[in-house]
Chains A and B, each alone.
Chain A
Amino acid sequence: MGKTSKDKRDIFYRQAKEQGWRARSAFKLIQIDEVFDILNGVTRAVDLCAAPGSWSQVLSKKLWEPSENKDEVKIIAVDLQPMSPLNGVIQLQGDITKLETAEAIISHFGDKKAHLVCSDGAPDVTGLHDIDEYIQSQLILAALNIATHVLMKSGTFVAKIFRGKDISLLFSQLSIFFEKVSIAKPTSSRNSSIEAFVVCQNYQPPDNYVPQKINPMIDDLEVIREITDSEVNRNIIPFVVCGDLRSYDSDMSYPIDENYEHKEIVQKPTAPPYKEVLERLSQISLKHEGFSINKQ
């Protein structure tokens, strides 16, 4: 396949390169905002699992760039991996499952809390859907956990979800903290993908709720499930398509004209886990052979 192959198959991948977005997922946040207006009036936002930074880029462009008082706009991007700097975005290298990360975010906001917490993070998938969906839901719970510490009342929480057999439990858990929970499917997300986004609006934690680390084995979520995982409850999560259905279709392939110029991606992937192997493949074929590094 030629280097323009993906450009033809994936219009949003092509558009992201042409418009200077670090990843095609930038369009997902833009389309969610078009419907839910989640960025309106936001001056303090947190982007969790931010690398390579396309959502932070959207926040920077929509919140920081047009702002007349740029000092007032605070966008904090959190990830384990370092990422290239972005205008108006404060980067925190940290683990969203750790309480210290929440504290570090709060320290940047001072006594104020965030209007928006968002997360486009996904786990390292194993190929076993049940585990992958479980770990994704744990990642969202970790993001929610951070949100309970840093999000102001009436704030918004947006996160990527994998809709599988256990998704109603996650909806139930989110419904405890937010008045309105919706499933958003941007048109830039493929129809064939189980990916969608929860848009949780109007943060209203239960009375006397003290932000803490939710732990499924320690906290009795069975009780929460019994309260919230009813047939009635799971029916009320509305599904909302985001993005103009008349515009680009992420499942469509779009031809390129002869004057088309292939562009490299804006942000190349950070060091993959198999980087060391790749470096050594010039010396040995792992297809047939193996090698060891003796550390003794």
Chain B
Amino acid sequence: MSYVDSICIKFLSPSVIIYGRGNSLFIQREKLKESLQLKTYDKIHKISFIDCGNNAHEIVCSAGRDILLTKVVDNKFQGTGSITRFNDWISSIKYLKDGIAIITRHNIAALLELEDNKLIIKKKFKCDDNSTLYCSFIHGNAWKDLIFFSGTALGELIIWKKDELSKESTTLYQKSTHNGVIFSVSYDEDYHGIVTASDDRSIKVYRPNESFSELKELSQLFGHTSRVFVCKIIKYNEEVKFISAGEDSNICFWTENGTLQSKKNISASGGIWDLDYDLKNNRIVTSSSTGKLNQFLLDKIFHEVYSQEVISTREHVEPSKLIYLENGTLCAIDSRTQIYTKMSTNNQWIKVEHPYISQKIVAMDVFKNRLFLAVKSSILIFDYSQIYEKLNFTFELNVDEKFPLPQESNYIRAIHVLNRNEIFLSDVYGSCMVVNVESKVVKNLFKIPKSIEPWTTSVEKIDDYWIIADRVGSLYLYRNDENDLSTFQMPIQKLSKLHGLTGVTTIRSMDNDFIKTTGNDGTIKTLHLNRKTSQLEFCQLERTHVHFIEKIREYNDESYIHGFNDNFFVMYKDREIIYEHKCGGRHRHWDVTLINKDDCKVQFAYIYKKQVHCVEFYLNNFKIDTPINDKSNIIWHTKPCNVLKVIDDSGILISGGEDTILKFTKIEMMEDGNVLYTKIADINSHISSIKAIVTWRENDEEKGDDLNIISLGSRAQIVMTKVIKMKYVKEEINFMLTNSLLCGNSKETTFDTETRFTCAFFDVKRRHLFVGCSDGYLRVFKLQHNEFSSSLKPFIESFYGKCILHITMIKSFILTMATDGIVCFWYFNEMQEEEIEHRHNLNELKIIHKLQHNQNGINCFDVFTINDDHYKIATSGDDTGLYVTEFETVDNSLIKCYKTIYSYGIHIAQVTGIKFITSDKLLTVSVDQTLCKVEIKSDKFTIIDKKFTCISDVKGFSFFNENLIFVHGAGLEAIKYF
């Protein structure tokens, strides 16, 4: 099982898709997934097939220089398949009636035929232009009729074919069309049109003449913010559409006249490499750089019913507020405090009869089909009558006397409905109450501390605790005391600016005393209510793609974020923008309701330019049905994974990389030998790339045995996280220099914000965190705990002068390895803090021995313990040399190194992983995508076994219970231990 680029995807039939993921070919039918055992050397780039009847298909795939042939019968792979290797990279492949056609990367067309289970070149001819191609397309079904389309690095489009007379190629058309690489070219015979997609972020549509010697450029389409990798022409309900997708994770749906009809973003999946369209079900499937597949149901995507209405024809009267009842009735209030309703089933606005409202309606809320309006110091309650199908005024509650502050200037500023009869009110002076509207009994009184805007934006109750957010961005915790109504309760805890200055927009309680909050800083934060300390503790942060989060709501048990990006209303889920609509921005009244549960059809209403606008659409996400034989639910890093650690005893995989996400994944070995990956949490605390992870357990009754993780990386950031009960993740420390500066203690640190923390080791006993830094320092931080929190304090440091890449500890010695290829043994004598006169006293942290290993950077190492005093260290790196030295710790300040043995030529590219299996056997992995088992005998290194990995840009490997090897880099692959 791997998470790696899925570069090509095809519909084999309306219900069956076939796709390449890394160097494996997969087929997915209904809810079953199957992979072909035979694997290619390079990743699978192109797939073509021919229908042989009786539900049988011949499949051909190109993968670099390899061509894979296999057969699918009754939607299952049949036989083992075969691979033929050619000299040049295959750019395009197509199954014809009379063979298999290919175009190579050097613009050569060839006809292949199968002979003795091997493909052989029957015919070939080259295009006049032999530029290296970035894309190509083969049109036609028989060799003699083929037309070839080629796209080059220089933006040239070449259309060529075989000249029947000369048997050589004829270039029909050749011209520079794009201002950059052409990544995709496609021709549609029915439309008689060509589309190209390019590095210049655009798509071009052309109409060729009959002989393809002239092309008329019809339009150039711009909708992508990054490179466009694929573009196709499709026919949807007799209409021509252009579909494009690319590096920006956007899929754009264009009409024939060049209008961008819809754009969907699936950034969690990474860049989109390929797409295919099924005409029967109007379904598009895409494959992406994380290996994730997505589907887009065009009937649902294109369904958008829009209306804009004036609710009152009276002059100078305009809608001011709106809200939906549970039954889908839209309630709107105009500037003259007149209330109107409109049912979702008809378009008639009905005036609601109610007592005269002399003052402005300040706030409103709904519980099911009951509407609450706050006017000055009164609450007006309306109920929807199912019998009369209209909203009726029910009663009014005056809370004048219940608020103790000046009545003239005071009024209810916010209302939050708790249930049918209980509401939470706050006034302009920060006085809050919980009142039962039927019994008129006040149940609680709270006071928000003084501020410019001390009224509430969101409220949540957990048993006897109340969590209240105010308009200036503070979150308060109150402990309930129902019996004491003589005074206003004051908060027991304040969290300032939790989501910045503009307030917490939602507070949602979850299981086990966890709370999620959102705000206009685009983040979701998880807090935990610690009942022992009666404190809210920060756990984790999730950055979303929504700049201003306003609400979280559930539709059909799925949670959606509602918010705004620029002028657009956005609905967002699982790092995907499900829907967006241009509505003018966030400063307006709006609401959303589910109008059809079965289809998940919703309606979004908003006020814009004095009118009520409604838009109806489907809330379909882009998930493909999860196969029952692979329930893994993780989405892998969208950028290279720098570091990965497997916690053997609990089966947790912790990973971090360039996408700044610290990922916690549960791994389980399945009976069929596959790995089940289950998401535990994605932590967004890092602001830049993650370079190193250290883990430990306290194994202490007081401190518990929770798993602790320290992750470090760029921008001089250290994050300490705790995994509680292997289920929840809590951030304990987020150390950043900017925080130190804010606290005014910048003098405590000597490093710059641009320093990268490249490696770390935690000494559990002495609570020291040793950190290798890109500014050439080895730094020691002290981890300190008190009753409520933990902190990291810079303690001592020593300048080495090279970027330190790895660090470990043997007994009391610190070992560092840097870009100079030297293994340094450091002696570290911890003195009591008061003993150290100068913070940077180098005498306490000094190099006692240097061991020259590699020629330059050491990218990996491992230490083997021979006995109490004797060890072996193995290193390798950019120079590909494998170095092994035996050393002895003589006493606490002396190292004795014995002979160093080394070997070059095991790998041909940078070695990024090395591990001792025994004292004379090593496992290594390299950017050359090879894992080698190496034996050392008589000082000589011999490869005794090898395995290939489909992961490119390999950054290292980790082991799980001696069953699996996880290779990480540009993806993740689990390889059986060998």
Minimal beta-carbon separation of A185 from chain B (angstroms): 6
Whether a CB of chain B sits under 8 angstroms from the CB of A259 is no
A185 & B905 in contact (Cβ 8 Å cutoff): no
* Chain B hits for A165, CB < 8 A: 908-909, 927-930, 952
Inter-subunit contact A245/B856 (CB<8 Å): yes
Residue A127 is within 8 A (CB to CB) of chain B in the complex = yes
| Contact among A131, A138, A215, A239 for B879, CB-based, below 8 A | A239
Contact in complex: A129, B258 (CB < 8 Å): no
User: Within 8 Å of chain B (Cβ to Cβ): is A209?
Assistant: no
User: Within the assembled complex, what's the spacing in Å between the Cα atoms of A194 and B970?
Assistant: 13
Tell me whether B754 and A5 are in contact (CB under 8 A): yes
* Docked CA distance A272–B198 (Å): 12
Question: Would you give the 0/1 interface string for B765-799, flagging 1 where the beta carbon is closer than 8 Å to chain A?
Answer: 00000000011100000000000000000000000
Which of the listed residues A95, A215, A252, A291 has the most CB atoms from chain B within 10 Å of its own CB? A252
In whole angstroms, how far apart are the Cα atoms of A295 and B221 in the complex? Answer: 11
Contact present for B179 and A275 (CB under 8 Å): yes
A-contacting residues, B30-56, CB 8 Å: 42-43, 45
Contact size class for A?
A: 35 or more
Interface string of A273-294 (1 = CB under 8 A from B): 1111100100001111111111
B-contacting 9-mer, from A71-79, A83-91, A149-157, A217-225: A217-225
B802 near A290 with CB under 8 A, answer no
Contact in complex: B880, A239 (CB < 8 Å): yes
Judged by a CB distance under 8 angstroms, whether A235 is at the interface is yes
CA distance A98 to B118 in the complex (A): 35
B908 and A277 form a contact (CB under 8 A):
no
**Closest CB in chain B relative to A180 CB, distance in Å:** 16
Min CB distance, A7 to chain B, in Å? 9
A273–B181 touching, CB < 8 Å? yes
Contact A290 B263 (CB under 8 A): yes
Instruction: List chain B residues, Cβ under 8 A from A293.
Output: 219-220, 222, 258
Contact mask for chain A residues 224-268; partner B; CB cutoff 8 A; 1 contact, 0 none:
000000010011000111000100010111110000000000000
Which positions 918-944 of chain B face chain A at CB distance < 8 Å?
Answer: 927-930
Docked CA distance A109–B872 (Å): 58
Within 8 A of A (CB), among B174-223: 178-181, 183, 198-202, 216-223
With A138-B105, A292-B219: A164-B180 Cβ-Cβ less than 8 Å: no
B856 touches A187 (CB 8 A): yes
Q: Given A191-B856, A191-B859, verify A222-B87 contact (CB < 8 Å).
A: yes
Q: Are the C-beta atoms of B927 and A274 separated by less than 8 Å?
A: no
Whether, in the assembled complex, B973 has its beta carbon less than 8 Å from a beta carbon of chain A, the answer is: no
Interface of B is mostly: loop
- Is A292's CB under 8 angstroms from B132's CB? no
Q: Any chain A CB within 8 A of the CB of B153?
A: yes
- Interface status of A135 (Cβ within 8 A of chain B): yes
A296 at interface by CB-CB < 8 Å: yes
Nearest to B104 among chain A residues (CB) is A217
CB <8 Å contact, B879 and A220 = no
- Are B819 and A251 in contact (CB-based, < 8 A)? yes
Given A164-B952, A288-B565, A290-B221, do A128 and B5 touch, yes or no (CB 8 Å)?
Answer: yes
Q: Is A274 a contact partner of B263 (Cβ separation < 8 A)?
A: no
Measured between beta carbons, the chain B residues less than 8 angstroms from A292 are 219-222, 254, 257-260
User: Are A274's CB and B180's CB within 8 A?
Assistant: yes
Contact yes or no, A294 B219, CB < 8 A = yes
> Does A130 touch B at the CB level, under 8 Å?
yes
Contact with B along A148-179 (1 / 0, CB 8 A): 00000000000000011101100000000000
Residue A124, interface by CB 8 Å:
yes
Cα A254 to Cα B777 with chains together (Å): 11
Q: Tell me the complex Cα distance, A251–B566, Å.
A: 38
Contact of B219 among A135, A272, A288, A295 (CB under 8 A): A295
B254: A residues at CB distance < 8 A: 290, 292
What residues of chain B lie closer than 8 Å to A277, measured between beta carbons?
200-202, 222
A80 at interface, CB cutoff 8 A: yes
Bitwise, B743-781 to A at CB < 8 A (1) or not (0) is 000000001101110000000000000000011100000
Query: Nearest-CB distance from A167 to chain B (Å)?
Result: 5
Task: Assess whether B219 is in contact with A124, with CB atoms less than 8 Å apart.
Answer: no
Asked whether, in the complex, the Cβ of A253 is within 8 Å of the Cβ of B218, the reply is: no
Contact residues of A: prevailing secondary structure: loop
Whether B976 sits at the interface, judged by CB under 8 Å, is no
Assess the A215–B904 pair: CB atoms within 8 A: no
Give chain A residues whose Cβ lies under 8 Å from the Cβ of B803.
191, 249, 251-253
Knowing A273-B181, A295-B219 are in contact, say whether A241-B754 is a contact too (CB < 8 A).
Answer: no
The answer to whether B752 and A253 have CB atoms under 8 Å apart is yes
Could you say which of A165, A216, A251, A255 has the most chain B C-beta atoms within 10 Å of its C-beta? A165
Task: Please measure, in the bound complex, the distance between the C-alpha atom of A235 and the C-alpha atom of B942, giving whole angstroms.
Answer: 13
Q: Kindly list chain A residues whose C-beta atoms are within 8 Å of the C-beta of B42.
A: 130
- Assess whether A217 is in contact with B124, with CB atoms less than 8 Å apart: yes
Q: Is the CB of B220 within 8 A of A295?
A: yes
Residues of B near A222 (CB, < 8 A) are 87
Instruction: Chain B residues near A217: list those with CB within 8 A.
Output: 86-88, 104, 106, 108, 110, 124, 126
Contact A8 B258 (CB under 8 A): no
Q: How far is the CB of B136 from chain A (nearest CB, A)?
A: 13
- Give min CB distance, B370 to chain A, whole Å: 36
**What residue in chain A is nearest B952 (Cβ atoms)?**
A129
Q: Which residue of B lies closest to A215 (CB)?
A: B106
- Inter-chain contact A288/B580, CB cutoff 8 Å: yes
A292 and B289 alpha carbons, distance in the complex (Å): 27
A123 adjacent to chain B (CB < 8 Å) = yes
Given contacts A164-B909, A252-B803, contact A289 B260 (CB under 8 A): yes
B855 close to chain A: CB less than 8 A:
yes
The reply to whether B247 and A127 contact each other, CB–CB distance below 8 Å, is: yes
- In the complex, residue of chain A having the shortest beta-carbon distance to the beta carbon of B91: A131
- Whether A213 contacts B130 by the Cβ 8 Å rule is yes
B668 within 8 A of A: no
Q: Is A168 touching B908 in the complex (CB atoms < 8 A)?
A: yes
Asked whether B380 is an interface residue with its Cβ less than 8 Å from the other chain, the reply is no
Residues of A within 8 A of B289 (CB): 127
Q: Which residues, 75 to 118 on B, are CB-close (under 8 Å) to A?
A: 86-89, 104-106, 108, 110
Bound Cα distance A277, B180 (Å): 12
A172 CA to B751 CA in the complex, in Å?
46
B582 at the interface (CB under 8 A from A): yes
User: Closest CB-CB distance, A238 to chain B, in whole Å?
Assistant: 8
Q: Which of B179, B218, B775 contacts A296 (CB 8 A)?
A: B218
Give the docked Cα–Cα distance between A236 and B802 (Å). Answer: 29
Given contacts A164-B927, A165-B928, A293-B220, contact A134 B89 (CB under 8 A): yes
Can you list 7 A-B pairs, Cβ within 8 angstroms, ordered by A?
A8-B752, A123-B153, A130-B952, A165-B909, A276-B202, A294-B218, A295-B219
**Given A292-B219, A293-B220, 15 new contacts (CB under 8 A):** A130-B64, A164-B927, A165-B908, A217-B86, A239-B879, A241-B879, A249-B801, A249-B819, A252-B775, A274-B199, A277-B202, A286-B224, A288-B580, A290-B223, A292-B257
3 tightest A-B CB contacts, nearest first:
A273-B180, A290-B223, A292-B258
